[in-house]
Each structure stands twice: as structure tokens, then as C-alpha cells.
A and B are shown apart, each in its own frame.
Chain A
Amino acid sequence: MAINERLSGNEAVSFAIKQINPDVVAAYPITPSTEIPQFISQYIANGEMTTVYVPVESEHSSMSACIGSEAAGARSMTATSSCGLAYMFEMLYIAASNRLPITMAVVNRALSGPININNDHSDSMGARDAGWLQIYAENAQEAYDNFIQCVRIGEHKDVKLPVMACQDGFITSHAVERLELIETDKVKAFVGEYKPEKYLLNPDEILAVGPYDTPQYYMEHKKAQTEAMKNARKAIKEIAKEFEAMTGRKYDMLEEYRMDDAEYAVIIIGSSAGAGKEAVDELRNAGVKAGLIKVRVFRPFPDEELVAALKKVKGVAIMDKTDSFSAAGGPLGAEVKAAIYGKVDGITAANYIYGLGGRDVRVEHIKQVFEEIAELVKTGKAPETYKYLAIRE
């Protein structure tokens, strides 16, 4: 029987880690992800986990230690937020290029500066080209479910890439929600034992990790990495199917909410999808054909799924919880537009920057976005390249 509980996102992810009982965790405190290493430390102290915990002196070292331990053959995990993720930046690329399936709980928080401890997606979006998979949760239930699936996805034989399991700082990580946990024996059976093909601690076969790579080989290695990222799409879907069979909870690259006959849509990531769905319901009650697309998987990018979902849509608002400072919009905006270019006819696509540094996103804000795109479609006017939502001018 599934276990009904009331937990925060951080508690839910920590509980998943306890159930999985990985070989090694190396982590460093940073708000709002700090609770995760705290819970793990307590679980170990209580004798509830046998994981070797490495209390490193920085995030740079937590990722470095995870690289060492994962390469050595140990299932390895960490957690971080914001500047901690930024401090790992160099090592993120090395973890991915060495094809080490580390699972990292990312509790999204704005990057400094100005210093701010609240939620937006500038941290993980800044690392979007590092070669990691990125899977985002809307709430604590999804944070828990995603984390368990992420371990399997990263370790899949056709993938072998590290994975960020993202949830929104404070909004998801600290708010207590009702959720359904899976029995520990089922979680253990689902993730299975980690059996790497090649690893440093194999006494029968020595291994060299991280060699100097010359122009003769570097590009082939990068190609192999991108192929692995392509393969991840299939693995994500397969593993979601298995997960659904176990729990009844359905996951995919995207979640489409009331999109069947939608004329207007917002595309959004993370917890704000909650307010977005509420806005959609209210608009539907008022006779507006509104819908919402929640991007669950940002890496690999769900380009085909987005094209299919937007085929019949007249106007779409692409919501970025970060600014890429390209002066041409946010990363989700840029990538969605690139994905639908030449594939979705006559659609009006507007890009919004919202919710930076913990700025509240309300149902009325999302309704305002729907009104604006409906107006653009009606008048045939081109949208601004991008705009800030709910900003003091």
C-alpha cells in the first residue's frame, strides 16, 4: 500500500534518497537545499542509511567528489541551489563528458546578484548547456517521483549522463503538501542495483578516466555525448511507463493541461504551473479556450512534443523564470521558438520573463498573459520580442 504523508519538497526528496540508499553522497549546505544533506546526515546517524557521506568544504568539491565516486563505481548523489550550482559549473561539464550518471537534487534559487535566496530558474537555466538532463517538478509529489525516475534515467545503458532533479526553492522545497510515497522495497526494486560497465575500483580491469583529448578525438566524444542525450528521450518515456504501472501516476516530456481544443496556451516550468492551471480553469469557465503546457523535461529539449501540442494553437505565451540577457528573451522562449519555426503555421508567440527572485506569480497575472495574447491574435499585431510580467515601471 502506498504511504500517505505530509511532506515538504526537501523532505520528500530526502526520503527518496533514504529509500534508494545510494553508495555515496557528497554535499555542501546552501539555502534552500540545505535540508537535504541535513536529513541525510540524520538518517545516517540514526542507522537508517548506510550511505558514505562526504561533508565537503564547497560545492566545487561536492561535484568533484561525486565525479570521483561515480567514476569509481558508486551510485553518487548531491544537492544544491543557486550559487552552489554556479560554483560547480566547470565540474558539471566534466561529469557529463565523463558520462557519469550522478543524480543531483537542484532546489532552484535566483543567482546572485543582487543576492536573493528566493526562487527562480536562473541557476539551472545557466547550466542548461552543461550536458546534464534537467527534469522539473511542479510540487512535492513530482519532486519525489521525478527524483526516483532520474536515477534510472541517468544510469540507463543508452544514456549514462548526470541528471538534475529540479524543484522550486521554498515554494516547493519548504511548503508541506499531502503526497503519496512508495514503499521502500518497491523503490529499491524500481531503481535496482547500480552496475556500471567500467569503473575505477574494478581489480580485474584498470581504467583511465578524464584523459587529455586532442582535436583528433574530441569532436567524436562530443558527438557520442549528444547521441546519449537524444537517447534519453526514449529512456524517459520508458521509465515513466514503468513508474505509472507501479504508482498510477503518469509522466512524460510535457504535461498538457486542457490542450485538446485550446486556442491560447502558456508554456511554463515548475511550481507556477499550479497558478497557470487555475487561470486556465477560470478562463474555461468564462468560455475561453485556454490551455497550459508544462515543460517537465528541459534537457533533452521536448521539441517534437511542443510542435505537436501547439499545432492547433493560435497564440502562445512562453514563460521564462529567468532572463538570459540576450536582449532577445529567455532561454525557454528562444528554444520553443526555434523548435516550432517552420513547423507550426501562423502562431503568435510571445515571451514573458516572470517571477524573478521569488516575485509572486498569481492567477490574475497568468490571466493577464492570456488576455494579452488573445488581443495580439485578434489584432494581428506582432508581440514585443519579450516583456517582463508584473513589473513596477
Chain B
Amino acid sequence: MAYNFKEVMNRPDRLASGHRMCAGCGAPIAVRAVLKAIKPEDHAVICSATCCLEVSTCMYPYTSWKDSFIHSAFENAGATICGVEAAHRSLAAQGKAPQNYKFLAFGGDGGTYDIGFQSLSGAMERNQDMVYVCYDNGAYMNTGIQRSSATPKYADTTTSATGKASAGKQQNRKDLTEIIAAHHVPYAAQTTFIGNLKDLYEKAEKAIYTPGAAFLNVMAPCPRGWRYETEDIMEICKMAVETCYWPLYEVENDVWKINYEPKNKRPIEDFLKTQGRFKHLFKKGNEELIAEIQRDVDARWELLLKKAK
């Protein structure tokens, strides 16, 4: 069925308001939009890694989750939700649980790209019927903006500091969506908040209703770590896509598809200049650093175009 923005947004939220996430944070936008794609009549169990999302939505004795929810630790959301899914397979076969349950895990990039990478890889390889959603804000935001393997090159973080002797993170950003695609799971996709959230919703729906393991990588800006005004989040996401810094694509049964190709690819400055974490790059003498980022973005985009051809 074609995406109907009004109909989708009118569905009851499965994440209640009143949680403690910051204004202008991408994580709850990602969670609410993904959960909208679960059919209202279906049950779900949600898992979260230890992260901003977890400590802000499930503080004893309150919960913002309208579905059953489990948090166990930082590095194991993949394995934890797989345990729940295994329990469901067992109990449903014995007639002790309804069939229509969906299993979703959320984690930030720290809990997904880094410390939770092994647990996630295992879950993907076993192809258990679950969806792992990474809300990628490109650093360890919960502990105070430390660099992760998802932090882009030259970003300023508290453990890739900028100063006279350093221009921020010196290493490349890991390409996790491609790594998960290399697990040959039925569905892996990358998205962010664009327009009326059609791309995010459709990918979430596919991920949830494709049998087997599915992975969604949602770029979810963080106003504290990226240093932007809360109302700028949608513009930042748009620039990430228009510059091809964060291409929208999906890999379905090993077929790569780019969901949006900008007619006129914007220069990377249009993305970088929206955020305080890249401010130092615009100082005189750092032109080459921006040129280097541009070359990297171009090279990765070209590779992606080849994979999708």
C-alpha cells in the first residue's frame, strides 16, 4: 500500500511522550517512525542497548514503551533480542504465545559499530527473525561525545579533540551498512529523516515484515554532539543526503538499490557547515582537509553506484 503520511502519523505512538531525550535529538524520531511500521494489531518486544535512549525511556518505576521492553547491557542488544526471538519460536510452537510478535533492537553507534559489533554480527549471521536498528549519531553521546568508529573523519569529539596539533578524528568512518550487507541478510538499509519520513517508514516496514534478520542504519543527529540548533535537524539530514555523505540505499537479497540520487550533488561544505563539530575545518589553512573529505565522499558514492548498477 502506498505511503500515506497522514494515516501513518495518526496511528497511536508505541513510544509515549514524556521521555527524557533532548529536544532536537534524532533517536526518538527514529524510534517512533520505525515503530509506526508495526501493524497496530501485531505485538512487539523491543530491546535497547544501554544508551541515551535506554536511560531516558526506561527509568524505574516508569517506562515510555507501550510494548514489552528489555534492556540488559551495552554490547549485547543483538544477542538479547535473539534470545527473546528464540523463546518466541519455542513458546509459539507449543501454543503458549501468539504467532504475531515482532522483535526489534535499538542501539546507538557505540553499541552497534563498536562494543556490540560481535553480538550484532552473530545475530545477523544466524538470520533470526528480528530487526536491529542503529540510530547513528556518530559518537558516544551518552557518556559525553567520545569518538566512535562511526565518527566521521576530522569531527571534533571529546576523545578526538581539536587543537593546535590535531584537527579532530584522524581515522575514517566505518561503513557498517555495507558490513551487514556482507552477512547476506535478507534486508539491510540506510536511511535518515527526509521530507515526510517516507523513506524511513518504508524501509522499517520492509525490515519488520521480511522474515529473517534485517538491519536499519538511521543517521540520527545529536544536537549536543554535532552542535546545532534543535530546529535545524531536518535541514542537516537533507544536506547529508544531497551531498551523498549519507546515501539512502537498501540491499534486498543481495540486490543493491539506491533510493535517491541527487540531480546536482551538493558540495560537502553544505553538510559540514551546519554543525559545530566541523567548525575548525573552515578556518584558514584547513581547505585541504575539506577537499580530502570531499574526495572520500565522492569515492564512496562512486563505489555505491557501481554496486547498485
CB-defined contacts of A69 to chain B, threshold 8 Å: 83-84, 86-87, 90
B81: chain A residues at CB < 8 Å are 68
Q: Is B38 an interface residue (CB 8 A)?
A: no
Kindly state whether residue A119 has any CB partner on chain B within 8 Å.
no
The answer to whether A61 and B119 touch (CB under 8 A), given A73-B96, A90-B73, is yes
Closest B residue to A60 by CB, please name it. B76
Report how many A-B pairs have Cβ atoms within 8 Å: 169
Q: Let me know if A74 and B86 touch, CB within 8 A.
A: yes
Tell me the A178-224 residues at the B interface (CB within 8 Å): 200-203, 206-214, 217
| Mask of A212-241 contacts with B, CB within 8 angstroms, 1/0 | 111001000000000000000000000000
Q: Is A58 an interface residue (CB 8 A)?
A: yes
Stretch at the interface among A48-56, A312-320, A369-377: A48-56
Interface size on A, residues (CB 8 A): 44
Contact A65 B97 (CB under 8 A): no
A201 CA to B70 CA, complexed, in Å: 11
Question: Among the listed A64, A66, A71, A207, which residue makes an inter-chain contact with B73, where contact means beta carbons less than 8 Å apart?
Answer: A64
Q: Is B299 an interface residue, CB under 8 A from the partner? A: no
User: Is the C-beta of B23 less than 8 angstroms from some C-beta in chain A?
Assistant: no
Residue in B closest to A71 when the chains form the complex, CB atoms: B70
Name which of B47, B67, B84, B119 has the most chain A CB atoms within 10 A of its CB.
Answer: B84
Distance to closest chain A CB from B230 (angstroms): 24
Q: Count B-side interface residues using an 8 Å CB cutoff.
A: 49
User: Smallest Cβ distance from A80 to chain B, in angstroms?
Assistant: 14
**Contact A67:B90 (CB < 8 A) given known A61-B122, A203-B43:** no
Best-buried of B59, B91, B125 by chain A (most CB within 10 Å)? B91
Taking a contact as CB atoms closer than 8 A, the residue among B83, B122, B126 that contacts A72 in the complex is B83
A-facing residues in B72-109 (Cβ within 8 Å): 72-73, 75-76, 78-91, 93-94, 96-98, 101
Q: What are the residues of chain B within 8 A of A209 when measuring CB–CB?
A: 68-72
Residue B158, interface by CB 8 Å = no
By a CB distance below 8 angstroms, the chain B residues around A211 are 58-63, 71
User: Taking the nearest CB of chain A, how far is it from the CB of B131, in angstroms?
Assistant: 15
| Nearest Cβ on chain A to B79's Cβ, whole angstroms | 4
**Neighbour of A214 across the interface among B47, B60, B83, B101, CB < 8 A:** B60
Contact at A213–B60, with CB atoms within 8 Å? yes
Chain A contacts for B125, CB-based, 8 A: 57
Query: Which residue of chain B is the closest to A23 with respect to CB atoms?
Result: B90
A236 to B75, CA, bound (A): 34
Contact check, A91 vs B76: say whether CB atoms are below 8 A apart: yes
In the complex, are the beta carbons of A201 and B87 less than 8 A apart?
A: yes
Cβ < 8 Å to B, chain A residues 29-55: 50-52, 54-55
Closest A-B pairs by Cβ, 4 of them: A68-B83, A57-B122, A65-B83, A72-B87
B: which residues have CB within 8 A of A?
A: 43, 45, 47, 54-55, 58-63, 65-73, 75-76, 78-91, 93-94, 96-98, 101, 118-119, 121-122, 125-126, 128
Given contacts A52-B86, A69-B87, list 19 more A-B pairs with CB under 8 A.
A50-B90, A51-B90, A54-B126, A56-B126, A64-B79, A66-B83, A67-B70, A67-B72, A68-B83, A73-B87, A73-B96, A74-B91, A203-B97, A206-B65, A206-B66, A208-B70, A210-B72, A211-B59, A217-B61
